[in-house]
Structure 1
Amino acid sequence: MSVNYDFTDKVVVITGSSSGIGAGIAQLFAKSGANVVVTGRNGDRVAKVAKQCTNVSPKQLTALEVVGDLTNNEDCNRLIDTTVQTFGKIDILVNNAGSGRLTSIDDSDYMEKFVFIMQTNLNSVVYLTHKCVPYLAKTRGNIINISSVGSKIPSSRFSPYHISKAALDMFTKCMAAELGPKHHIRVNAILPGYVRTDILMTSMSLNRTESDQKFDQTADIYPVGRPGQPQDIANTVAYLASNTEAGFLTGSIVVADGGHLAVVGLK
């Protein structure tokens, strides 16, 4: 039996929603009746996903497009201000945007990559949460942060990414503890495993063939017999965002990894 969520009249901001997991999340919320805000750094990709959201919306609601760089606080301000000016409120914030780079501590550009990844994966989440609290308090809304199984597993050449995600998990718990009693805002995080997107090409400089091979390998390792799809994570986000279905969940770090953590190190 499929689950049909109803987010009619809800306003949902999804960062990094111009491709991959974020695009899948945006489309599911649009299909469920929400007003969605699609944002990313590439205007053409933002427009493409926004059109897809409008097409699946039951009432053909026009998705709001905001092009910007989340490492820039002015762009973060514009994202939130434009959303409120357009829709008058914010109900759900999905902090999905993330980046990774291969680097070792003795690389000459390690600190440059470290700073960029922390700005993208952690600082932007902290800043947007800070900006959204007044609006989410009014709607008794909630926040979902997209973390990673990398928050639980060390890495020798991907340390900034893993550090940023571990910090994101703790930020999630701290905000749940702080914002629940004070503002009735729920805050949760999701830990995806390998999800078939372009991330391996952008973070590890793999070509399409190499990326596909890496994902295909998970079919032999993951207990579910396949890598994740954006829809898998989108379904988990929708569940956590629903006050009806998940109203008792806050401060939770929900693992949606196809069994990655269960078998890591075994094969």
Structure 2
Amino acid sequence: MSIKYDFTGKVALITGSSSGIGAATAQLFAKSGANVVVTGRNADSVAKVAKQCTDVSPKQLPALEVVGDLTNDEDCNRLIETTVQTFGKIDILVNSAGSGFYFNIDATDFMEKFSLALKTNLNSLVYMTHKCVPHLAKTRGNIINISSVSSKKSSSGESPYCVSKAAVNMFTKCMAAELGPKRIRVNAILSGVVDTNFNTVFEISKELIDEINKSIGQKYPVGRVGQPEDIANTVAYLASDTAAGFLTGSLVVADGGDIAANVSYD
């Protein structure tokens, strides 16, 4: 039996929602009755996901489309302001935007790439949280941050990504403690390998990515890598005050057994 959530009347702002985990999350919130905000850097992708959200919405609620780059503070401000102007409030913030950064320490442009990793995966998340807190305090809302098992597993050549995600974990716990008196819950999801276009950062073919995912999936205790919907379902659970109202500061592992089985991607 599938679990159904009711987010009728709620406003969910999902960053990085023009593809992958963010897109699946936006669609699930829309299907559950929420007003959703779809945002990303590509206008066509944003429009496509927004239409999908409207189509699955029980009342055909139109999704708000905002095109922007979250590494730009002005775009972040416009995203939040447009959301509040359109819907009047924010109940749920899902910080899903992020990218992979894999470079060795002796790379000539390592510091530049390391700074970009922090700016993309951490700073934008911190800034969105900073700016959304006044609105979430009014609704006693909650924040879900998308982290990674890489925050718990060191790996050669992956320090920019691992460090940025480890910082997301600590920021999540700090915010849970700090925002508790405002009745804002803050949790994070440590995702395992998920079959999305995220891995195109490696600039390899889709066919090779599929082969890699199949190989990794065979090592996972559940026998497969994740799908965007797997993480979206976990987001919905954490966002539900009825189901998860006593959870805050939690780092929820949704990884198919990656960490438990000490899976190596080599």
TM-score range, shorter chain: over 0.9
Per mean C-alpha deviation after superposition, the further-off stretch among 99-108 and 246-255 is 99-108
- Mapped pair 1:103 → 2:74: no
- Say which of 224, 227, 232 aligns to 1:226: 224
Q: Which aligned pairs between 1:4-19 and structure 2 lie closer than 5 A?
A: 4-19=4-19
Which residue matches 2:254?
256
C-alpha separation in 1, matches of 2:11 and 2:42: 22
Which residue matches 2:50?
50
C-alpha separation in 2, matches of 1:244 and 1:73: 33
Deviation at 1:185, TM superposition (A): 0.1
Which residue matches 2:154?
154
Deviation at 1:265, TM superposition (A): 4.8
Deviation at 1:219, TM superposition (A): 2.7
Structure 1 vs Structure 2: percent identity of aligned residues? Answer: 71
Which residue type is aligned with residue 6 of structure 1?
D
Deviations 1:101-158 (A, max 9, x none): 2211111111111111111110011100000000000000000000000000112111
Per mean C-alpha deviation after superposition, the further-off stretch among 123-132 and 218-227 is 218-227
Deviation at 1:210, TM superposition (A): 1.1
CA RMSD of aligned residues (A): 1.0
- Mapped pair 1:235 → 2:233: yes
C-alpha separation in 2, matches of 1:12 and 1:77: 16
Structure 1 residues 266 and 24, CA gap change in structure 2 (3 angstroms): closer
Structure 1 residues 266 and 117, CA gap change in structure 2 (3 angstroms): closer
Deviations 1:41-93 (A, max 9, x none): 00000000000000000000000000000000000000000000000000000
Which residue matches 1:82?
82
Deviation at 1:266, TM superposition (A): 7.1
Which residue matches 1:120?
120
Structure 1 residues 159 and 266, CA gap change in structure 2 (3 angstroms): closer
TM-score by length of 2: 0.98
Which residue matches 2:190?
191
C-alpha separation in 1, matches of 2:81 and 2:263: 45
Contact 2:5–2:32 (8 Å) recurs in 1: yes
Per mean C-alpha deviation after superposition, the further-off stretch among 50-59 and 205-214 is 205-214
C-alpha separation in 2, matches of 1:239 and 1:124: 24
Deviations 1:205-261 (A, max 9, x none): 221111101111123100101110000000000000000000000000000000000
C-alpha separation in 2, matches of 1:127 and 1:111: 22
Structure 1 residues 263 and 238, CA gap change in structure 2 (3 angstroms): same
C-alpha separation in 2, matches of 1:113 and 1:100: 10
Which residue matches 2:26?
26
Which residue type is aligned with residue 240 of structure 1?
L
Structure 1 residues 196 and 266, CA gap change in structure 2 (3 angstroms): closer
Structure 1 residues 262 and 36, CA gap change in structure 2 (3 angstroms): same
Q: Runs of 4+ in structure 1 displaced over 2 angstroms?
A: none
Question: Mind listing any 5+ residue stretches in structure 1 that lack a counterpart?
Answer: none
Which residue matches 1:200?
199
C-alpha separation in 1, matches of 2:263 and 2:180: 37
C-alpha separation in 2, matches of 1:206 and 1:232: 24
- Mapped pair 1:171 → 2:168: no
C-alpha separation in 2, matches of 1:266 and 1:166: 19
**Secondary structure of residue in 2 paired with 1:261:** coil
**Secondary structure of residue in 2 paired with 1:195:** coil
Deviation at 1:194, TM superposition (A): 0.6
Q: How many residues align?
A: 265
- Mapped pair 1:70 → 2:53: no
Per mean C-alpha deviation after superposition, the further-off stretch among 53-62 and 108-117 is 108-117
